[in-house]
Amino acid sequence: MPLSRRKLSSPQPPGASWLAWPTLQESLSAFPAFGGSFCHETRHLVHQYGPLVTAELRIQTTGELAGEVRVFVAGLQVATIPYDTAGPFRDVIDKLHRRGLPATCRAELDVDAEGHVFLHTKPAVRGAVEPFLPPINARAVDLPRRRSEMLDRSLNGGAPPPRAERTALLSSEADYWTLSLDGQRLGFLESHPYPRLQEAVAHGFPLTCYATLERVPDGPLRVNAALPDS
């Protein structure tokens, strides 16, 4: 099965590397989990794996804190989602467990005094054709004017909505990263080191990502690629 059409069919032990297919749907905004009590564990994990990792969500089933959702990385607890806000996550964790799957997502570990863990996920099961790259930072795509106008016309025939999200593909071309949509090359990422893109390529993962298309009043269409690199 091509990596770009990964299905949630076989359980795998969740590891710490971000280079894994999460089972939870990813989000363009991060959900903060409270990790102030686990700063020592977080620093250890950042030193070993870096700040971007794969986390597993588990429901606390016993004791006074039953119903909370706990966040683990490489078997160590790093954060908690309190009971009052964990309801939607409990539902989707139960759904995945009934299918024999762990609830996993990409997360950023913060080593400051707050010790927050930022989960790049939403409480929903990941679809089979969602992009592989986690949508952490928006990077501008340099589009020729002609391409920008063509894209603008393609969005509902030039009518609203003013903003749309699509799945795009990145590829390396000379000293640039090229972004393509529906098989058509659109433009380039700005010149910048992208070590996580190189890491994904080295491990055989597809460079599919979310692309945001946004109309600007009296200006050309603006396109951003959501990437794991800052």
User: Do 150 and 220 belong together in one domain?
Assistant: yes
Classify residue 110: in a domain, yes or no: yes
Is the distance from CB of 141 to CB of 225 less than 8 angstroms?
Answer: yes
**Residue 168 belongs to what domain range?**
137-227
Cα–Cα distance measured from residue 131 to residue 21, given in angstroms and rounded to the nearest whole number: 10
User: Do 23 and 120 belong together in one domain?
Assistant: yes
Cα–Cα distance measured from residue 112 to residue 175, given in angstroms and rounded to the nearest whole number: 35
Helix/strand number for the chain, H first, E second: 4, 12
Q: Look at residues 165, 161, 178 and name the one whose alpha carbon lies nearest to residue 213.
A: 165
Give the domain-ending residue among 125, 160, 184. Answer: 125
- At 161 the pLDDT is 59
Give the domain-ending residue among 65, 100, 125. Answer: 125
- At 230 the pLDDT is 63
* DSSP for residue 34: B
Specify the pTM: 0.85
- At 21 the pLDDT is 94
H/E stretch holding 36 reads none
- At 113 the pLDDT is 59
pLDDT tens per residue across all 230 residues of the chain: 344 445 444 334 456 999 999 999 999 889 889 887 888 888 889 989 999 999 999 999 998 888 999 999 999 999 999 899 999 999 999 999 999 999 999 999 987 657 789 999 999 999 988 999 999 999 999 988 777 777 777 665 555 457 788 899 999 987 889 999 888 888 999 888 899 999 999 999 999 999 998 877 777 788 999 999 86
Between the two ends of the chain, the Cα-to-Cα distance in Å is 31
Encoding tokens for residue 61?
Answer: 């089933």
User: Do 34 and 102 belong together in one domain?
Assistant: yes
Total domains present in the chain: 2
